[in-house]
A = this chain, B = another copy of it.
Amino acid sequence: MIRLEDITFFESVTTCWTDKEKLEQYSHDETEDIKSIPAVVILPETAEEVSKILRYCNAHRIPVTPAGAMTGLSGGAIPITGGVLLSTVRMNRIIEVDVNNHQVITEPGVITQVLQEKVAEYGLFYPPDPASKGSCFIGGNVSENSGGPKAVKYGVTKDYVLNLEVVLPNGEIIWTGANVLKNATGYNLTQLIVGSEGTLAIVTKIVLRLIPHPTRDLLMLVPFRKMQDAAEAVAAIFKAGITPSGMEFMERDALIWTQEYLGSSDIMVADDHEAHLLIEVDGFDEQVLMGEMERIMDVLSAFDIDEPLLADSQAQKDKLWKLRRSVGEAVKSNSVYKEEDTVVPRYFLPELLYHVKTIGNKYGFKSVCYGHAGDGNLHVNIIKGNLTDRQWREELPVAIKELFTEVVKLGGTLSGEHGIGLVQKNYMPIAFPEITINLMRQIKQVFDPENILNPGKIF
């Protein structure tokens, strides 16, 4: 419970919002259909302000839910216990692009695409960009260990985070590591914070490594007559020794629904197109990339494909990527749905698809699948469609458990890039035995003994 004097204290530190409209706005992220109203939204501008707020909340056992742009897909930023919603929206400065060291120091409230564009001005590249790159925050990306389409070649957020300034629940401000490419100095607290979904500390500064920005890319959309072929082709391309910079899978309905959603009809989806792969290669030499695309075509010729579309202009590339990036929103606009973020070793993608469809048939649900096939990361959107509320409430979780059980058998796990947050936490025992979850709980207790930080998430 938050008292009036608490609000008075928060207001003495920094900007606070308590009006209904704002509280409503901060009551949900992009996760399906869940809301919880915070008592107050606090918008600190500095680590020192965050420190004062956390020290106070820790002393008074007031729950604090850290939030970025609230674009998350696992409910991590929903203030389910009420209390304080701490938004990083005003910590939005890019502090330094360190061109000499190929690093950038940024605050967490910077939009990922803004950060990308800023460092690109210096010929530098920050690769991880979730579909929501135009609205999500880099701080949220760090908290969820976000991926995106480039991860297949360049890795995910964790592969770029060198060092973090964080505020611990007791108000202490520390750096987790150093601004170096190699570090063998004590436990890797940096990587412990990355992906911890705001449950251990609040990130207030981020040091990212950067790489030279590729100057060329080629993009190709390939229609497959059999969905399983598309899934199998993925590992075949990598086995041929090529590492594409994008390798995206879209099931038939994903493409059709998204074109409808965007009011576009550029891509002819023939009756016998079950799925598409969107394949990108990038680098610094057009000749080399043409050679790679040719080798990819050689691999694909063993599968039952229709004519590929090789994008012949930047506008066409942008259009294809926009299509891919909008699938999530398109599905969302189409039906009540539940999204799973399954991930398996990439060669097992066909088996994963098989299980998705088989379990769907068994329980009577339809699914639309798409995602980062090169990483074995398949977003499974389960559509409510004609299912009754009872089926949706009672049977779906059973079906999902069955799916995750198969995923884990394949060496995979619950989430590739969306996090566990609120909506996946009941499935954690499928991925980890109690002993392991308990280790995580105890680590949580080391950082946050009063359990004030994002309580009720992950575990």
Contacts and interface: CB of A to CB of B under 8 A. Distances in A.
Contact of A182 (B181, B235, B375): B375
Contacts of A200: 187
Contacts of A285: 285, 288, 291
Given A100-B239, A101-B347, A192-B191, A185 B420 contact: yes
Nearest to A180: B343
A439 B433 contact: no
Contacts of A172: 435
A444 to B, nearest CB: 8
Contacts of A437: 186
A68 interface: no
Given A189-B436, A435-B172, A447-B439, A182 B147 contact: yes
A191 B241 contact: no
B188 A432 contact: no
A450 interface: no
Interface string A116-144: 00000001000000000000000000001
Number of copies: 2
A76 to B, nearest CB: 10
Interface in A184-201: 184-189, 191-192, 194-196, 200
Given A192-B191, A212-B242, A288-B288, A345 B431 contact: no
B347 A100 contact: yes
Nearest to A207: B411
Interface of A: 98-103, 123, 144-147, 151-152, 155-156, 158-159, 168, 172, 174-189, 191-192, 194-196, 200, 211-212, 235, 238-239, 241-243, 284-285, 288, 291, 341, 343-348, 372, 375-377, 408, 411-420, 428, 431-433, 435-437, 439-440, 442-444, 446-447, 458
